[in-house]
Structure 1
Amino acid sequence: MPPSSTGTRPAAPSRRPALRKTIEQIEHETESHGLTRSLSAFQLTMLGIGSTIGAGIYVMTGTAAAEYAGPAILLSFLVAGLACLFTALSYGELASTMPVAGSAYSYAYVSLGETFAWAVGWLLLLEYGISCAGVASGFSGYATSLLHDLGVQVPAFLASSTLHSTVTADAVQIAAGPRLDLVGATAVCVVTGCLILGAQETARINAAIVVIKIGVLLLFVVFGLGAMHRANWTPFIPPHQGGFRFGVPGIFRAASVIFFAYVGFEAVSTASSEARNPRRDVPIGIVCALVVCTLVYLLVASVLIGVVSYTRLDVADPIAIAVDAIGQPWLAILIKLGAVIGLCSVLLGLLYGQTRIFFTMARDGLLPPAFCRLHPRWNTPWVGTILLGVLVAVATAVLPIDIISDLVSLGTASAFGIVCFTVIWQRNARPDMHRPFSVPGGGVRIGSLWIGIVPTLGIAFCVIMGAPLFVDMARALLLGNPVPMILLGGYTVTGIGCYLLYGRRHSALRRTHDTGL
């Protein structure tokens, strides 16, 4: 926007939150990012699979089945997978037209403006950074169990988080103790070191881990098929017990819980600036990763429920419980080893995605420049990677997985909904833009407004995923348990404060706008 004729610009504070980047601006910035383009479509797919198959299937599936859905957890996976499919297709179109780093943050900067872009970036910290603490907690549980089987005893106070939560009928009780989860924190530090070495090296490590992880899960399926009991599937949908416990409401509540299991597939979009051919390879990587992960989830969950009654699965290592029921001790050790290795690949993918999002935000001035400072040899944002690694390691040592998983799912649903909206906005704002990949299904026109079927369904399913989470938080508040709302409110207030005190004052786009450059 040009400056006024007097050479100055009115403050117009009401217009400032709508400051947007153009697609051309983002593409120009991407060409000068300094990162190395080295990732192929196969490596991007493996990054998506590695980032996705982890704590969701190894930990949260058992909780969701035992507390909400029973054997109907399979329907919950389909609901959550369908929600992610619509979002994945929307991601595919945006990635083909805007092959840039930053994922949903960059897309929101184009469609909704800077303030919303910051909000999305803050939500993505939940989805990537904070969820890493949950993944690392799952790693700690399986690693400790594996070491126990091998005759190595890890003291409980070195493998448990400082805060511990106990779930009752109407409340979540939080207690603190003299303990630190150093096992999980150490895993985060090791993964952080791998990320500093570069995207290509990280991709090679991740690809090897994914092959091992998928192989071990398929081995569990093969041996578990012969140990399944038909009685464990009856009733398929347990009778409704009020609230979101079982019945049809339980299916959707469980879907919102295992939505946590899908948060990694979009990590592919954060790699756009390091993909060899992002317009073609990123959409392929996103969709292929989602399809493969959904199929693996359905297979593993089917066997898990068939081998062990869902009432016994509200534990930190439900697959290990099922393997013990199969009666193959060697398989138990192999499954736990696969879980430990597999969760490492999730940490790699999620931390990678978070560092690239913060890299983009720092280039925009919304975060300190340390997050976009590149290593002179490896061309990676090494200082930001170390800072994030330390943050996640501390969160792992202190926070238990179950008090952050709902926040992660809520943040993910919100970010996904904005991605779907961006497709609709871009189609109306830039209808003539070349789109190497377009969402299928077309759309309808209301006057001059184009409404896409796929992105609209994506928004609807994101609401379906997020609504039970928020309702449960509100219900807990009314019943005298303010902990979930305090966490949500505290995180929101912190994000607003960071933007007002730093991001807004240092925004590169805002400085350009104010000076008329």
Structure 2
Amino acid sequence: MNLLKRAFQRESVDGYLAKDSQMKRVLSTKDLIGLGVGTVIGSGIFILPGIEAAQHAGPAVAISFLLAALFSGMAGMAFAEFSSAMPVAGSAYSYGSVIYGELIGWLLGWSLIVEYFLAVSAISTGFAAYCNNLLKMFGIPLPKYLQAGPAAGGVINLIAVLLIVFVSLIIARGLNTSKKIENGAVYLKIIILVLFIVVGAFFVKGSNYVPFYPKEFRTGWLGLGGIGAATASIIFAFLGFDTIAAHAAEVKNPKKTMSRGILGTVVISATLYTLFAIVLTGMVNYKKLNVDDPAAFALQAVHQNQFSMVITVGALAGMFTAVLALVYASSRLAYSFGRDGLLPRGLGKISIKNKIPNRALVLAVVVESIFAGLVPLDTLAALINIGTLSAFMLISFGVLFLRRRKDLQHDGFKVPFYPVLPFLTGLISLFLILRLPHETLWMYAIWITLGIIWYFTYGIRHSSLNQK
């Protein structure tokens, strides 16, 4: 078999199911929605509506959230179909290996590393910033050298590292403990968001909605440049639903549960994001919202300071649940690579005691802690969007190939309006990728090149497919 043919050799679903059989199938629809909403309603809802309103769309940022949710829902249906047909760990990596071949599957997984690992680090850094501000309010600030890494004038971002380590200890106690804590924190976060929406609604001024879509943002095709730019930035906020697919090997009745969990996450998150943006831009003029804590700022602007602390608690809960869900997903991704031999096989071992991949969890925590504690993520964070969009594109197009596979028993959820909808979703993903900054595209090209080098120097020789 020549090298190129070998690189595009396909994995089998039965092989994945056999390897994943040691995992417990204990997750319900409620648990999946908890994981999904826990990730999607993270730091984004407390930051993005204000910044995107001020910089790109004005009050029309609510439309951007609806568009991002619509697109994410379209991509979410593709993930729901795949996870229903292939209830295995690894998400897009495993799906790509079955549909496109091992090399494309590996590069999809390599892209997800960027998405998951950097997202954990970025959100942990945001959590640390809120905590540091909270400590200052109580008169016990941390020394500056413990608030940032060397490149930002400090030594280490201590709180960001401690958060990731704490989350890993929760996950190490087993799936039941993790899901209880995740679900509880998600309920708290939703209650606080609803409280902001209800309280804020009493302070909405119609004049703040005029102009709804300011002239300075009406650029590009049909004047939609501002809304389009905000939508592209907001996609990052919806990365959570695809992390649900990473847990398909631990889900009860995946043919029904996976689609309900993914689509339920998109609907709940879209509703909360849109209502939050409408109320926020109605409370304060959009020009004043270019701040890191727009919700707390808006409450202070209408002299409701007593609720600012509540919003801070909600932001911390939101970022905590996002980190918990993403560390969980990133450890499952590392496990999948080890399971298949594309990374050292020790990562693919499942602990007999707690039925989780402990070694993969340790690797994820170490890498994410290094990024969060030592590396400034302003530039690297841009890679999160392109990793997400690449997975959206190939999985959406992949539905076209999945339906043609006669060897796959597929009687679960299916994307409606086939083949138009999955093809359209893939094209939109490609369009959004090409709209990203050139610097981001070059960095992603370098990352993909490194992934190809690793595959042909290590992965292809140690892959499980070589043993067949």
Q: Relative to structure 1, is the Cα distance of residues 179 and 229 closer, same or farther in structure 2, using a 3 angstrom cutoff? A: farther
Q: Which of 455, 464, 468 is the aligned partner of 1:508? A: 464
Q: Which moved more, 1:403-412 or 1:131-140?
A: 403-412
Instruction: State whether residues 123 and 322 of structure 2, in contact with CA within 8 Å, keep that contact through their aligned partners in structure 1.
Output: yes
Match of 2:56 in 1: 68
Q: Which moved more, 1:245-254 or 1:90-99?
A: 245-254
Q: Does residue 15 of the first structure (1) align with residue 5 of the second (2)?
A: yes
3-state SS, counterpart of residue 215 of structure 2: coil
Counterpart CA distance in 2 for 1:301 and 1:145 is 24
Q: Does residue 282 of the first structure (1) align with residue 275 of the second (2)?
A: no
Match of 1:273 in 2: 249
Q: Does residue 115 of the first structure (1) align with residue 91 of the second (2)?
A: no
3-state SS, counterpart of residue 14 of structure 1: helix
Note the C-alpha offset of 1:378.
1.0
Match of 1:194 in 2: 170
3-state SS, counterpart of residue 403 of structure 1: coil
Q: Does residue 464 of the first structure (1) align with residue 420 of the second (2)?
A: no
Deviations 1:288-328 (A, max 9, x none): 11110110100111112122222233332222212222322
Q: Which has the larger radius of gyration?
A: 1
Q: Relative to structure 1, is the Cα distance of residues 71 and 404 closer, same or farther in structure 2, using a 3 angstrom cutoff? A: farther
Instruction: State whether residues 162 and 397 of structure 1, in contact with CA within 8 Å, keep that contact through their aligned partners in structure 2.
Output: no
Aligned Cα root-mean-square deviation (Å): 2.2
Match of 1:478 in 2: none
Counterpart CA distance in 1 for 2:330 and 2:89 is 11
Q: Which of 13, 17, 20 is the aligned partner of 1:27? A: 17
Counterpart CA distance in 2 for 1:243 and 1:206 is 41
Match of 2:237 in 1: 261
Instruction: State whether residues 209 and 281 of structure 2, in contact with CA within 8 Å, keep that contact through their aligned partners in structure 1.
Output: yes
Match of 1:102 in 2: 90
Q: Does residue 156 of the first structure (1) align with residue 120 of the second (2)?
A: no
Q: Relative to structure 1, is the Cα distance of residues 403 and 219 closer, same or farther in structure 2, using a 3 angstrom cutoff? A: same
Match of 1:40 in 2: 28
Deviations 1:261-298 (A, max 9, x none): 00111221111111122122111111111110110100
Counterpart CA distance in 1 for 2:300 and 2:396 is 43
Gaps of 5+ in 1: 1-10, 164-175, 444-451, 474-481
Match of 1:454 in 2: 421
Counterpart CA distance in 2 for 1:394 and 1:309 is 39
Match of 2:289 in 1: 313
3-state SS, counterpart of residue 160 of structure 1: coil
3-state SS, counterpart of residue 412 of structure 2: coil
Counting aligned pairs with the same residue, the percent is 32
Q: Relative to structure 1, is the Cα distance of residues 457 and 245 closer, same or farther in structure 2, using a 3 angstrom cutoff? A: closer
Match of 1:340 in 2: 316
Note the C-alpha offset of 1:241.
5.9
Counterpart CA distance in 2 for 1:22 and 1:485 is 32
AA aligned opposite 2:113: L
Q: Which moved more, 1:113-122 or 1:220-229?
A: 220-229
Counterpart CA distance in 2 for 1:302 and 1:333 is 21
Q: Which moved more, 1:106-115 or 1:453-462?
A: 453-462
Q: Relative to structure 1, is the Cα distance of residues 137 and 246 closer, same or farther in structure 2, using a 3 angstrom cutoff? A: farther
Q: Which moved more, 1:280-289 or 1:17-26?
A: 17-26
Instruction: State whether residues 101 and 273 of structure 1, in contact with CA within 8 Å, keep that contact through their aligned partners in structure 2.
Output: yes
Match of 1:476 in 2: none
Q: Relative to structure 1, is the Cα distance of residues 148 and 200 closer, same or farther in structure 2, using a 3 angstrom cutoff? A: same
Counterpart CA distance in 2 for 1:261 and 1:307 is 22
Q: Which of 442, 452, 455 is the aligned partner of 1:496? A: 452
Q: Which of 121, 134, 146 is the aligned partner of 1:146? A: 134
Counterpart CA distance in 2 for 1:244 and 1:148 is 44
Deviations 1:13-68 (A, max 9, x none): 231221111333333333x3x11111111111111111211122122333322222
Counterpart CA distance in 2 for 1:272 and 1:313 is 39
Match of 2:352 in 1: 376
Match of 1:204 in 2: 180
Counterpart CA distance in 2 for 1:60 and 1:246 is 24
Note the C-alpha offset of 1:485.
5.4
Q: Does residue 439 of the first structure (1) align with residue 435 of the second (2)?
A: no
Match of 1:477 in 2: none
Instruction: State whether residues 358 and 371 of structure 1, in contact with CA within 8 Å, keep that contact through their aligned partners in structure 2.
Output: yes
Q: Which one has a larger percent helix, Structure 1 or Structure 2?
A: 2
3-state SS, counterpart of residue 429 of structure 1: coil
Note the C-alpha offset of 1:248.
1.1
Note the C-alpha offset of 1:119.
0.5
Counterpart CA distance in 1 for 2:305 and 2:130 is 15
Note the C-alpha offset of 1:179.
4.2
3-state SS, counterpart of residue 266 of structure 1: helix
AA aligned opposite 2:35: L
Match of 1:8 in 2: none
AA aligned opposite 1:403: T
Q: Which of 59, 63, 66 is the aligned partner of 1:78? A: 66
3-state SS, counterpart of residue 265 of structure 1: helix
Instruction: State whether residues 366 and 504 of structure 1, in contact with CA within 8 Å, keep that contact through their aligned partners in structure 2.
Output: yes
Q: Which moved more, 1:147-156 or 1:403-412?
A: 147-156
Note the C-alpha offset of 1:333.
0.7
Note the C-alpha offset of 1:412.
0.3
Instruction: State whether residues 59 and 318 of structure 1, in contact with CA within 8 Å, keep that contact through their aligned partners in structure 2.
Output: yes
What is the TM-score normalised by the length of structure 1?
A: 0.86
Instruction: State whether residues 236 and 384 of structure 2, in contact with CA within 8 Å, keep that contact through their aligned partners in structure 1.
Output: yes
Counterpart CA distance in 2 for 1:244 and 1:397 is 39
Gaps of 5+ in 2: none
Instruction: State whether residues 80 and 465 of structure 1, in contact with CA within 8 Å, keep that contact through their aligned partners in structure 2.
Output: no
Within-5 A mapping of 1:206-285: 206-240=182-216, 247-285=223-261
